[in-house]
Structure 1
Amino acid sequence: MEARKPIKKKKNQFKYWIGRIHLWLGLISGLFVVFLGITGCILAFEREIEDATQSYRFTETQRKPLLPPTQLKAIADKALPNKKAHSVNYQPGRTAQVVYYHDVPAYYYTVFVDQYSGKVLKVKNMDEDFFRIIIMGHYYLWLPPEIGQPILTTATMMFVFLLISGLILWWPKSKAARKQRFSVKLKSKWRRLNYDLHNVLGFYITFVAIFIGLTGMIMGFQWFSKSVYWVSSGGKSITMFEETYSDTTSIAKLNLNAAAADQLWARFMKEDPKFKGSMDVHIPEDKKGTVEIAKNPDPSTYWKADYRYFDQHTLKEIEVKHIFGKFANTSAADKIIRMNYDIHIGAIAGIPGKILAFIASLIAASLPITGCIIWWGRRNKSKPSH
C-alpha cells in the first residue's frame, strides 16, 4: 500500500494544477468567450435570415440576355458616384450584385441591379448592415484590427485549452461515476443543475467547439495558420496571396473589340451555359489590373471556388502559385486553409452543420457563466463563518 501513495498523490496534484489553470484562464477569457459565442450564434444563419427578409436579393430567371459586367458596373456607378467597383456577381435566380470595397478611403457598398433590365433595386451601405456590424465585433471587438483581433484570438486560444482541461477534469474515475457524467439531472437543486449544465453540456460540445476555436485561431493568428499549413503539407510553406498585373506594353499591340471583362465573362458563360453556381467578375481599376473571374459551384460555401486571372490587354491567362488559384491545382493543405471559414461557421456540412455550430456556440457562451457560478459558490462555501 505504501508504494501506491506517491502515485495517487501525483495524479491528484496533476488534476489540481489543471483545475487551477482552468479556473484562472476561465476568469480571464470568460467575458470574451460569452461575447464570441453569442455573436457566433447570430452569424450562424446570416445568409438564411438575409434571404428570408430581403426580397431584392432575388430576380427570377428569364429567357433574356444578361447585361454584361461593365454595363452593370456603369449603371451602379450612376447610383453610387465617386466610388470604385470591386466586382460584379452573377448567380441564377439572384439579383446581380456590384460590390464597392476600398481600404483608403474605407467604404463597403453593394448595389443590387436587375441583370436583365438594369433596374437598381437597392443601394446598401454594408458598414450600416446589422450582420456586418456583428461581424466587425466578432472579428475585431469593434476596435482597430491590429488591436481587437489579437485580443479575441488570444481569448479563443485560452478557450481551446479550457475545453481540453475541462475534459481532463470531467473524465470519470470509475464506471459508476461515468454513468452520472452523461446526463443533466433536471429535477436536482439549482446548484447541482448548474454544475451539470457546465460539465455535461461542456463535454457534449467539446469536439465541435475545439474545431470552431482552432479555425478561429487560423483566421486570427498568421503564425498558427502557417503552422497548420506546414504540418498538413508535410513541411511546405504557404504561398500568400499576391496581386497579378497585366502587361502594359501590350496595350498598343492588341485592340479589343469590347471590354476585356465582358469578353472573358461571355467566354465563361458560353463554355458552361448550365452553370448553377455563382460567378464573380473583377473589372480592372486601371491599366495594370487584371480581370479575375471566380466560379463557385456551391455558393453556400467558399472553398471550392475556381479563381482565374487574365491580362486585360491580351486576354492571356496568368498562372498563380498561391492557394487562391485554380481549384484543380490545389493541394490537400490548400484545401484545408480554403475550407477553414466554412468549417468555422458549420457551412461545410450544410444546414445540419450550421445547426450544430449554433448549438455549440450557444453552449460555449453559457460555460463561463455556469463556471463562474460554480467558482463563486465554492469560494463562499470555503470562507469561515463569523
Structure 2
Amino acid sequence: MTEVELPRPSFFARRPVALCGSRKVWLTIHLWIGLAVGLFLSLIGVTGSALVFFHEIDGWLTPALSIADAPPQGRAGWRTLEDITAAAKKAVPGEPTGFFVYYPNHPRKAFWFFFPLRAMEGAPPDVVNVFVDPNTATVTGARLHYSGHNPFENSLTGFLFKLHYALLMRDHGMAIVGVLAIIALISTVTGIVLWWPRNGKWQNAFTLKWPARVERLNYDIHRLVGMFFLPVALAVIVSGVSFNLPEQFNAIVEAFSPITKIERLRSAHGTEGPTTLDEAFAAAASRFPDGRTESFSLLRPDGPYVFKQMFPIGWGLEGRRTIYIDRYGGDVLLVNDPLAGDGDGFMAWQWPLHSGYVMGWPGRIAVFLFGLSWPLVFFTGVVRWLQKRRAHRLVERKAAA
C-alpha cells in the first residue's frame, strides 16, 4: 500500500491544540473568575463608561462651569493666569499648598480648579472645586468634589471616580481594584484560549449563528462581545493596573527602561527670579506649538509647574505630553513624551489609552461601549453556566433512571 502524506495543519490551526490541551482547566479558571468577581468588574466597567464623559456630565450639572458671555476677541481677552489663580485661591479657606486645574476647552468655559484641603494633620483631605471666569477673573461657583470622610457627600462625578477606582474604600480600595484588574486580565487571556478555533475554522469563530436556539445565541453573544472588544480591553485593563498599582507596575517597566522619579523634581531657589504661571505657560507653548493645553498644576510648594498637552500624532491619533517647568528661571526640567520610546514615553501612553482620548471621539465611544460590555459578558456567562449545569443534571437523572 502506498503511503500518502497528509498535509500538515497550518500554524494557526495547530497552535490552539497545545494551548487547549487542558481546556477543562482553562474553562474552570475562566468560569470561577467570572462568578467570583464578575459583578465587581461590571460595576467598575459601568462607572468607567460614565466617566468617559465626566467633563460633559459636569458641564450639564454644574452651571458655574459655563460662561454666559465671551468677549469677541476670544482667549485674547482673558485675564492672566496669575490673576485667575489668585482669584481661585481666595475662594478657599487658608493657604492652599497646591492645585490642579483643567484649562477651558471652549471660550465659554470656566477654569476648573481642584484644591486639596486638609482639616487636620493625618486626616484625608477634602478636595474643593472652584470655577473662575477667565474674562473677569471672578469666581462663578465652588463645591465639594471629594469628601475626605464621607464619599456620599462627593459630587456626582467625584462619587463615580471613587467608586470606579477604589470601590468607595478609603484605605486599600485602589490596591483591591488593581488586583481585580489583574484578575480581569487573566480572565481575558483564558477567554482568548477558549475562543480560539481548534479546528482552524476562523469564519465560525467570528460568526453569530442566526437563527439559533437561545442557548447557542447566548453563547455566541458571550464569546463575540468579548473578542470584539479585545484590543480595547487589553489597553484599558493594563493602563488601569498602572494607575492602581503604580509601584508594582513601574517596577516591571523599569526592568526594561528607566522611569524618571517625578517626585524628585524640585524648583530650587537661585539667582533667577520666580517664574509666573503665564511665563511658564508661554515657555511650554513656544516649545511645543502643536500642543493643546489640557491642564496645569502646582502640586507642591517646591515642585515645578506641570503642563499637560494633547497633540496630534497622525492617522487620527492623539498623545498627551507632560512638561515640567522650573518655577525659578523657567527652565524645562523634563518632558514626558509618548513618542520618546523610553520608559517615560510608555507611561505617557497610559492615560490616553485608558480614557480613549488616543483616538478622539471614536476612542472615547469605544471605551464607553467596552465598559458597558462587562455586565453583558457577565450576564451571558452566568446564563451559560446555568444552562450547562441544568443540562448536566438532566443527564445525571436519565443515567440514574
- Residue 86 in structure 1 maps to residue 99 in structure 2: yes
Question: Does the CA contact (< 8 Å) of 2:265 and 2:304 recur in 1?
Answer: no
SS in 2 for 1:174: coil
Match of 1:14 among 9, 19, 22: 22
Match of 2:189 in 1: 164
* Cα distance, 1:351 vs structure 2: 0.7
What secondary structure sits across from 1:74 in the alignment? helix
TM-score normalized with structure 1 length: 0.78
Shift of 1:261: 2.4
Tell me which amino acid in the other structure corresponds to 2:263: E
Change in Cα spacing, 1:295 to 1:341, as seen in structure 2 (3 Å) is closer
Normalising by structure 2, we get a TM-score of 0.76
Report matched runs for 1:297-316 at 5 Å: 297-298=310-311, 303-311=320-328, 315=329
Cα distance in 1 for residues equivalent to 2:332 and 2:218: 59
Change (3 A) 1:346 1:326: closer
> In the alignment, residue 188 of structure 1 is paired with which amino acid?
A
Query: Does the Cα contact within 8 Å between 1:205 and 1:360 map onto a contact in 2?
Result: yes
1:214 CA drift (Å): 1.4
- CA deviations 1:186-212 (Å, max 9, x no partner) are 543322221111122222222321221
**Counterpart for residue 42 of structure 2:** 34
Q: Deviations over 1:47-84 (max 9, x none)?
A: 23334554543443554653333433332334332351
1:246/1:169 CA distance change after superposition, 3 Å: closer
1:266/1:294 CA distance change after superposition, 3 Å = closer
Report percent identity of matched pairs: 20
CA contact (8 A) 1:261 1:291 kept: no
Superposition deviation, residue 349 in structure 1: 0.7
Aligned residue among 245, 257, 266 for 1:221: 245
Indicate if the aligned counterparts of 2:336 and 2:345 stay in contact, CA closer than 8 A: no
Following the alignment from structure 1 to structure 2, what is the Cα–Cα distance between the partners of residues 310 and 328? 24
Residue of 371, 374, 377 corresponding to 2:384: 374
- Mean alpha-carbon deviation: is it higher for 220-229 or for 134-143? 220-229
What are the equivalent positions in structure 2 for 1:1-386 lying under 5 Å apart?
13-51=21-59, 54-59=62-67, 60-63=70-73, 65-82=77-94, 84=96, 86-87=99-100, 90-91=103-104, 93=107, 94-102=109-117, 104=123, 106-127=125-146, 128-145=154-171, 147-174=172-199, 178-185=202-209, 187-222=211-246, 224-230=248-254, 235-247=256-268, 260-261=275-276, 264-265=279-280, 268=283, 277-278=292-293, 282=297, 289-290=302-303, 292-294=305-307, 296-298=309-311, 303-311=320-328, 315=329, 317=331, 319-320=333-334, 325=335, 327=337, 330-383=340-393, 384-385=396-397
Unmatched segments (≥5 aa) in structure 2: 1-13, 147-153
Distance 1:62 1:110, change over 3 A: farther
SS in 2 for 1:342: helix
Distance 1:349 1:41 in 2: 16
Kindly state the Cα deviation for residue 263 of structure 1 after the two structures are TM-superposed: 6.2
- More divergent stretch after superposition (18-27 vs 83-92): 83-92
1:353: Cα distance to partner?
0.8
Q: Which amino acid in 2 is paired with 1:125?
A: L
Structure 1 residues 319-338: Cα deviation after superposition (integer angstroms, max 9, x where no partner) = 35xxxx36499543322211
- SS of structure 2 residue aligned to 1:97: strand
**Structure 1 residues 276, 195: CA separation in 2 closer, same or farther (over 3 Å shift)?**
closer
Structure 1 portions without partners, runs of 5+ = 1-6
Distance change in 2, residues 1:51/1:61 (3 Å): farther
